[in-house]
């Protein structure tokens, strides 16, 4: 190999240089701002992880698997997986190999940014060497991979159903520019390299194309323009990148380490939140996933649009989208980047100004506290059962739960025999955290007074908040599904199995995605009958539509969502629908065409 030009420069590299410096500068500034916006504690924590070997390894692995290979996407959809990883990983390899070539043949040029990118223009092949032709081969190979990905991308754009997506996002102008320039880059590179292949050499792709072109193209006049075009395409792509969904490429590379460091959203627009927003590739997977989008309704309220509106600062829509959401968390479950839609919305709700705020300081819980204290009869330990507001509306759950506790011979007492305080979760969902804290303090007073060692909950909404927000280190907070499964496993509850009983388990949002409890209730149900699965289940189960998460959805708007959730549950035609949440129960019972029961009820009947 020898260099073709002494000065090793040609003006057509300038566009590329402009682009690369612009995008690198932009990302650098962005990164510093995000880190600066973190609360002090978070920032310290994050920076520490960057120098902790364990975290470094974790970060490198995750970035490689997620950003380049897109493993999550592979699991979800092979075609999309291939499409993304072919482009991402292929392009990555082209860059790496480009640098290898430079280092191998013209090491002194490595300091030129553009050299590895336009290598084939600046060099002429003198003799064929094994490593040389190997590199050439790999270059053509990965270029082919990328091109295949691009082809798929083009097909997807015009026929998304082929790759298994019902609805995708509508692209903004910048997105289109970015998209088309991205599509252009690699064909142009192929052309450019083909045109110069007789000088710079090439491999199975470029050499034959070069030969073909030379049959009918008499001169080399078209060679330079193609390199220009290639460079310009790169420039355009990199210059618009910050304003397009492709921003997720750099953003995600910072998001992953931050998430590994356990940083949480504290403000809907700043720091980690903005990073999540930029990491959204607006692929639109969340649109199909969103329970609100049934019958083509509310499509514009999916998380992808929240992110877009947050980037555009469209306050009216931001508010609308934030308030409408059921906070079921499914968008996060299906999101490739794991954007926390619900958390973003709650943070947004928490920013709201109110003329009037609740004040629970007047409430005196001492009578309740002393009641549970005397109920415990001075003995510490035992189970304290908090039925919660919603269970008051579904007394069957309360009856079944207490009956099971008796059958298992557990020492227990009610925390709210004649109604109690709300657990605070609904206020949290509305973003009214401080007010929720007041209630939490009041409830803590009662729980502490009881001296119990286990707090039993039949409502996942309560369960989540007791688990996450209550400082109950010495008290075990447990949902009845888990508790009863343990009692069954340990033989303290004997179940009579009823073979012809077909049961389907509905994963309540707060219990499943919210607290990661999927298996215990299923195991418990398996003990009493034949368990069938819904169409979508576990992390992808569909919200019943009754969720307290939504502030604005009307009853009429919720009905189709409930119906859709029921259709999904009854795909395998179960005899009974079983759930573990009083709210889901009350919501389903209204619309279901077959019995809907709480887990406790079903267990109690077979015990």
Partner 1 sequence: MDFGFKLSPSSAVNLDTVDLARFDKLTSLVPDALTCIGCGSCSATCTAAPWSGMSVRKVLLGLQRGRDEEVDKMLSACMLCGKCTMVCPRGINTRHLILTLCRLNQKGEVVR
Phi-psi region of 201 (alpha: psi -120 to 50; beta: other; left: phi over 0): left
Q: Does residue 586 interact with partner 1 by CB under 8 A?
A: yes
Closest by alpha carbon to 189, among 133, 146, 151, 135?
A: 146
Near partner 1 by CB under 8 A: residue from 54, 111, 296, 353: 353
Near partner 1 by CB under 8 A: residue from 430, 456, 524, 602: 430
Near partner 1 by CB under 8 A: residue from 190, 234, 321, 439: 439
Q: Does residue 236 interact with partner 1 by CB under 8 A?
A: no
Q: Does residue 360 interact with partner 1 by CB under 8 A?
A: yes
How buried is residue 333: exposed, middle or buried, by Cβ count under 10 Å (0-12/13-18/19+)? Answer: middle
Q: What is the largest CA-CA distance in the chain?
A: 101
Coil, strand or helix: which one is 70? Answer: coil
Q: Does residue 355 interact with partner 1 by CB under 8 A?
A: yes
One character per residue 53-92, x = contact with partner 1 (rule: CB under 8 A): ----------------------------------------
Q: Does residue 433 interact with partner 1 by CB under 8 A?
A: no
Q: Does residue 554 interact with partner 1 by CB under 8 A?
A: yes
Q: How far is the CB of 88 from partner 1 (least distance, A)?
A: 43
Q: Helices in 12-161 by DSSP H: which ranges?
A: 13-37, 40-50, 53-62, 71-76, 78-105, 119-122, 130-158
Q: Does residue 356 interact with partner 1 by CB under 8 A?
A: yes
How many Å apart are CA 191 and CA 347, to the nearest integer? 49
Q: How far is the CB of 431 from partner 1 (least distance, A)?
A: 10
Q: How far is the CB of 590 from partner 1 (least distance, A)?
A: 10
Contact stretch for partner 1 (CB under 8 A) within 32-40, 79-87, 332-340, 384-392: 384-392
Closest by alpha carbon to 398, among 414, 374, 382?
A: 414
Coil, strand or helix: which one is 413? Answer: strand
Q: How far is the CB of 345 from partner 1 (least distance, A)?
A: 14
CB 455 within 8 A of CB 482: no
Closest by alpha carbon to 248, among 278, 219, 292, 213?
A: 278
Q: Does residue 366 interact with partner 1 by CB under 8 A?
A: no
Using the minimum distance from each CB to partner 1, give the nearer residue, 418 or 500.
418
> Dihedral (C-alpha) 366, 372, 376, 379: value to the nearest 10 degrees?
-40
Give CA separation, 506 vs 368, 452, 487, 562, in Å. Answer: 34, 30, 21, 12
Q: Does residue 427 interact with partner 1 by CB under 8 A?
A: yes
Near partner 1 by CB under 8 A: residue from 362, 474, 500, 593: 362
Render 452-492 in DSSP notation, one character per residue: -SEEEES-HHHHHHHHHHS--TTSEEEEHHHHHHHHHHTTS
Q: How far is the CB of 559 from partner 1 (least distance, A)?
A: 10
Q: How far is the CB of 417 from partner 1 (least distance, A)?
A: 13
Using the minimum distance from each CB to partner 1, give the nearer residue, 327 or 524.
327
Using the minimum distance from each CB to partner 1, give the nearer residue, 290 or 422.
422
Q: Does residue 367 interact with partner 1 by CB under 8 A?
A: no
Coil, strand or helix: which one is 325? Answer: coil
How many residues bind to partner 1 according to rule CB under 8 A? 36
Render 235-257 in DSSP notation, one character per residue: HHHHHHGGGSGGGHHHHHHHHHH
Q: Does residue 370 interact with partner 1 by CB under 8 A?
A: no
Contact stretch for partner 1 (CB under 8 A) within 34-42, 189-197, 261-269, 350-358: 350-358
How many Å apart are CA 141 and CA 40, to the nearest integer? 47
Near partner 1 by CB under 8 A: residue from 551, 563, 591, 605: 551
Contact stretch for partner 1 (CB under 8 A) within 87-95, 220-228, 271-279, 551-559: 551-559
Near partner 1 by CB under 8 A: residue from 286, 447, 487, 548: 548
Contact stretch for partner 1 (CB under 8 A) within 5-13, 241-249, 487-495, 547-555: 547-555
Q: Does residue 584 interact with partner 1 by CB under 8 A?
A: no
CB 315 within 8 A of CB 282: no
Q: Does residue 555 interact with partner 1 by CB under 8 A?
A: yes
Contact stretch for partner 1 (CB under 8 A) within 193-201, 226-234, 354-362, 448-456: 354-362
Coil, strand or helix: which one is 183? Answer: helix
Using the minimum distance from each CB to partner 1, give the nearer residue, 156 or 506.
506
Using the minimum distance from each CB to partner 1, give the nearer residue, 63 or 551.
551
How buried is residue 55: exposed, middle or buried, by Cβ count under 10 Å (0-12/13-18/19+)? Answer: middle
Q: Does residue 352 interact with partner 1 by CB under 8 A?
A: yes
One character per residue 387-426, x = contact with partner 1 (rule: CB under 8 A): --xx-xx-------------------------xxxx-x-x
Which strand (E) or helix (H) includes residue 385? strand 383-386
Sign of the C-alpha dihedral computed for residues 116, 118, 124 and 130 taken in this order? positive
Q: Does residue 359 interact with partner 1 by CB under 8 A?
A: yes
Q: Does residue 592 interact with partner 1 by CB under 8 A?
A: no
Closest by alpha carbon to 49, among 66, 37, 62?
A: 62
Q: Does residue 351 interact with partner 1 by CB under 8 A?
A: no
Angle at Cα 417 formed by Cα 412 and Cα 422, nearest 5°? 105
Q: How far is the CB of 390 from partner 1 (least distance, A)?
A: 7
Binding site for partner 1 (CB under 8 A): 352-360, 362-363, 389-390, 392-393, 419-422, 424, 426-427, 429-430, 432, 439, 546, 548, 551-556, 583, 586
């Amino acid at each position: 190999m020898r260099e073709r030009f002494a000065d090793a420069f040609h003006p057509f590299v300038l566009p590329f240089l402009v682009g690369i410096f612009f995008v690198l500068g932009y990302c650098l500034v962005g990164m510093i701002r995000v880190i600066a916006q973190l609360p002090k504690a978070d920032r310290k924590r994050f920076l520490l992880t960057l120098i902790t070997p364990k975290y470094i390894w974790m970060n490198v692995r995750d970035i490689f698997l997620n950003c380049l290979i897109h493993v999550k996407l592979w699991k979800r959809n092979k075609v999309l997986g291939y499409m993304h990883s072919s482009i991402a990983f292929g392009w990555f390899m082209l860059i790496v190999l480009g640098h290898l070539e430079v280092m191998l043949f013209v090491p002194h040029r490595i300091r030129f940014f553009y050299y590895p990118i336009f290598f084939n223009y600046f060099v002429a092949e003198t003799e064929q060497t094994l490593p040389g032709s190997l590199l050439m081969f790999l270059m053509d190979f990965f270029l082919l991979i990328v091109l295949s990905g691009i082809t798929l991308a083009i097909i997807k754009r015009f026929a998304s159903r082929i790759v298994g997506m019902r609805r995708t996002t509508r692209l903004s102008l910048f997105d289109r520019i970015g998209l088309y320039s991205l599509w252009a880059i690699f064909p142009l590179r192929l052309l450019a390299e083909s045109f110069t292949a007789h000088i710079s050499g090439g491999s199975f792709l470029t050499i034959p194309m070069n030969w073909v072109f030379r049959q009918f193209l008499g001169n080399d006049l078209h060679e330079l323009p193609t390199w220009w075009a290639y460079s310009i395409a790169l420039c355009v792509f990199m210059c618009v990148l910050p304003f397009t969904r492709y921003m997720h490429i750099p953003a995600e590379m910072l998001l992953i380490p931050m998430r590994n460091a356990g940083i949480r959203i504290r403000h809907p627009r700043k720091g980690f939140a903005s990073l999540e927003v930029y990491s959204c590739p607006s692929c639109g997977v969340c649109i199909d996933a969103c329970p609100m989008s049934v019958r083509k309704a509310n499509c514009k309220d999916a998380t992808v649009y929240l992110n877009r509106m947050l980037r555009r600062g469209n306050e009216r829509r931001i508010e609308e989208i934030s308030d409408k959401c059921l906070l079921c968390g499914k968008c996060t479950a299906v999101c490739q980047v794991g954007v926390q839609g619900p958390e973003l919305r709650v943070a947004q709700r928490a920013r709201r100004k109110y003329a009037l705020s609740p004040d629970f300081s007047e409430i005196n819980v001492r009578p309740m506290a002393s009641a549970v204290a005397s109920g415990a009869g001075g003995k510490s330990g035992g189970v304290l059962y908090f039925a919660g507001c919603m269970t008051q509306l579904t007394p069957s759950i309360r009856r079944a739960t207490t009956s099971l506790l008796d059958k298992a011979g557990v020492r227990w007492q009610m925390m709210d025999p004649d109604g109690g305080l709300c657990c605070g979760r609904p206020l949290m969902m509305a973003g009214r955290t401080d007010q929720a804290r007041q209630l939490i303090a009041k409830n803590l007073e009662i729980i502490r007074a009881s001296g119990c060692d286990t707090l039993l909950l039949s409502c996942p909404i309560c369960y989540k908040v007791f688990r996450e927000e209550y400082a109950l280190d010495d008290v075990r907070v447990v949902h009845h599904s888990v508790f009863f499964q343990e009692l069954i496993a340990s033989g303290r509850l004997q179940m009579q199995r009823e073979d012809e009983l077909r049961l389907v388990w509905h994963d309540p949002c707060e219990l499943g995605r919210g607290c990661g409890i999927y298996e215990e209730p299923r195991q418990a149900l398996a003990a009493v009958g034949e368990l069938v699965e819904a169409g979508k289940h576990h992390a992808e189960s569909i919200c019943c539509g009754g969720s307290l998460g939504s502030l604005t959805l009307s009853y009429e708007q919720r009905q189709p969502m409930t119906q859709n959730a029921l259709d999904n549950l009854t795909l395998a035609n179960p005899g009974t629908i079983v759930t573990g949440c009083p709210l889901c129960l009350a919501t389903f019972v209204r619309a279901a065409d077959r019995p809907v029961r709480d887990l406790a009820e079903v267990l109690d009947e077979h015990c």
